[in-house]
Every structure is written in structure tokens, then in C-alpha cells.
Amino acid sequence: MDRPQLFALLQQQGAALKAMLEGLSPHERTWKPAPEKWCPLEVACHLLDEEREDFRARLRSTLEAPGTPWPKIDPPAWVMERRYMEQDFQATVNAFLVERARSLEWLHGMDDAPWTNAYVHPKVGPVSCELLLTNWVAHDLHHIRQLINLRYAYIKAHTTVPLDYAGNW
């Protein structure tokens, strides 16, 4: 896939994530199918943090200074450390959308960037700009799938009618 196509996917998937997070009732925003699973609020908080502190930050670092250690991240720990469950849902979604727009504006301005750069990660070895950008797109898809599964599980848990007419899940 070429960069313009990946940029377009990030834009489209940002819109898809927005759509998946719109219209949720206050109860659905924090509902979990199991205690160890994430709710839509936690997904939104994670997307915001990843947008600012993982994909964009690490891609920028690799493009500008590939020999500099990446900013440290710890997404699983952030759930508790950053009190995801106490965050305002709509403010978090809005902040994610603003950050996605900033990411896209930045990416579209990177025409002459050294896209062949790679960061040598101490555990996984070389991580290219192409790998980061493509995995950013894949990360969106992971969470779109997660939100679809959450929304389906919510309907299933809160109805008395069978859902088999809709098709196999």
C-alpha cells in the first residue's frame, strides 16, 4: 500500500470510529461484557493516547531522529494510571477526533520526509516508517472490530429476543 492510500484509510477509519462511538447511551459507554474486557469509554481513551503518544509520536521520532529512543508507552497500565473510567466520554471522543485531524494534517505535510528511516528497537529490531504507518491503520481496524463486538454484545445482553435472524455472529 502506498502512503496516500494509508493516509486515506486513517481518515476513513477515524470517521468510522466516530460513528461507532456516537449515539451510545451513558450506560453503554461504560458497559463491559466481562470485567477484564474494555468498555467503549476505555477504548476511546486508549485511541486518544495512542494517537498522541504512540503512532504519531513514534513515527515523528523515526522520521526526524531515528537514533533517538522512542517515547515510552504503557497502554495496559494507562487504563488505571490515567483513570480511564473517570474520563468524560464525549470530551475524550472529541479530543481523539481533533488529534486524528492533527495527525492527518501533519502526515499530508510530510512529502519530502525520509520515509526510508527505521528505528532500531532494542527488543524487536528495525521498525520502519512503513511498518509504523501500516500498523497505525491496522490498530484502527482492531478497535473498530472491538467496538462492533461490544455493541453486538450489548444488544445481546439487553434483549429478550434471539438474534439469530440477523445471521451467525
Residue 20 reports pLDDT greater than 90: yes
How far, CA to CA in Å, does 138 sit from each of 55, 122, 143, 144, 146? Answer: 11, 23, 9, 10, 12
Give residue-wise pLDDT tens across range 153-162.
Answer: 999 999 999 9
pLDDT of res. 32: 96
Any idea which residue has 527488543 for its cell?
123
Pairwise CA distance, residues 114 & 116, whole Å: 5
Residue 33 reports pLDDT greater than 90: yes
1 pLDDT tier (thresholds 50, 70, 90): confident
Walk me through the domains of the chain, giving residue ranges and CATH numbers.
Answer: 3-166 (1.20.120.450)
Give residue-wise pLDDT tens across range 53-68.
Answer: 999 999 999 999 999 9
pTM: 0.95
Pairwise CA distance, residues 51 & 141, whole Å: 14
Q: Work out the average pLDDT over 22-26.
A: 95
Residue 71 reports pLDDT greater than 90: no
What integer best gives the mean pLDDT of the chain? 96
pLDDT of res. 39: 98
Pairwise CA distance, residues 140 & 161, whole Å: 32
pLDDT of res. 111: 81
